[in-house]
Amino acid sequence: MLELDGSMGEGGGQILRTSLALSLITGQAFRLRKIRAGRPKPGLHPQHLMSVRAAATIGQAKVDGDTIGSRALVFEPGEVKSGKYRFAIGTAGATGLVLHTIYLPLAWKADGPSELILEGGTHVSTSPCFHFLQTTWRAWMEWFGLHLKLKMNRTGFYPRGGGQVEAVIQSCQRIRGLMLTTREPLTRATGFSAVAGLPEHIAQRQARRARYRLRENGIETDIVEETWAGGPGSVLALIFDSAPVPTLFFGLGERGKPAEKVADEAVSPALHYAHSGEPVDPHSADQIVLPLALSEDASEFRVSEVTQHLITNIAVIRHFISRDIVCDGAQGSAGVVRIAAKG
């Protein structure tokens, strides 16, 4: 049984999610201590607990420590089964993070397609929103040969939640490697500014701020303003369609946050990415390294910013998979990830 330390690196929930996914894929049991020790409120929260229980359900696993607040977990995987599954977090916990836990075991180990219904948050802080998953993450997966369909039936903003996402995951026999070290200059962005259960002028202010800052930096914009059902909540998303895959950056509203700040939270990282000249954005980098670690091919990609998330995820992967994975570049700077061909 592998012994893992949940305080390593960034000390967050990603250590748990990657461990669960790779346990199901490799058949390796693990014991994880100090779960989310690097967070202000450590231990399992509802979305982390649902990730554990979802992984246990699809993989017929034995689990000890799957309770709210638990800081230690033992996970002994069984056989991954395709099927129709429904997982309700019960709060605004991120549906996308539950999906990230179980999509790869279902694609790589199950013998047929699977259908998921995930209920909880679709647009919540510190996690990929649904539109990032649909626009950017799914496009990377298609590049690698992992075929998924995503559909959002209801939005779920913090703190109310109540969102619903459907996912269809096809089984996959081979994952293609990635060789990507350059991209063309980015001069145009599209996107949307949306409100749900809030005044329309909030969407207008978000869009106005984003247009001004992007055009000031030489990037033409086409941002549409939208009103959604549900809420309350707001989101502004910016998409570079001409990047290697459509690359989305977003900002989310919350009580007391000015609309202009919501726009800035999307614009600032978008401009950093555009000006870097590098092909992979920092949010995608730590998400794509996991499937690439299963490919028999060598991979190499440049990222606009090396994050602690990326460094930590590579460290967790190395516990489960004997593979030469190197990240060259200082944290906070551009870098390159190299994965050697499977020996």
Residue with tokens 């979802």: 54
Q: What pLDDT is attached to residue 243?
A: 81
pLDDT at 343: 73
How many distinct structural domains can be found in the chain? 3
Looking at 144, 173, 202, which one is the last position of a domain?
173
Do 263 and 284 lie in one domain? The reply is no
Pairing outcome for strands 188-196 and 247-252:
unpaired
Name the residue among 86, 85, 93 with its Cα closest to residue 46: 93
Q: What are phi and psi of 51, to 5 degrees?
A: -60, -45
Instruction: Say if residue 127 is in the same domain as residue 217.
Output: no
Last residue of a domain, one of 252, 276, 300: 276
- Examine the domain organization and report whether 30 and 97 are in the same domain: yes
* Domain shared by 129 and 34, yes or no: yes
Range of the domain at 258: 188-276
Active site (annotated) includes residue 309: yes
Q: For each of the chain's 343 residues, which pLDDT tens digit applies?
A: 999 999 999 999 999 999 999 999 999 999 999 999 999 999 999 999 999 999 999 999 999 999 999 999 999 999 999 999 999 998 889 999 999 999 999 999 999 999 999 999 999 998 999 999 999 999 999 999 999 999 999 999 998 999 999 999 999 999 999 999 999 999 999 999 999 999 999 999 999 999 999 999 999 999 999 999 999 999 999 999 988 999 999 999 999 999 999 999 999 999 999 999 999 999 999 999 999 999 999 999 999 999 999 999 999 999 999 999 999 999 999 999 999 998 7
Contact 195, 227 (CB under 8 A): yes
Query: Can you give the CATH number for the domain in which 147 is found?
Result: 3.65.10.20
19 and 147 both lie in a single domain: yes
Position 165 scores a pLDDT of: 98
Residues 19 and 165 in one domain: yes
131, 283, 309, 319: the active-site residue? 309
Of 173, 202, 220, which residue is a domain's last? 173
DSSP 8-state code for residue 243:
S
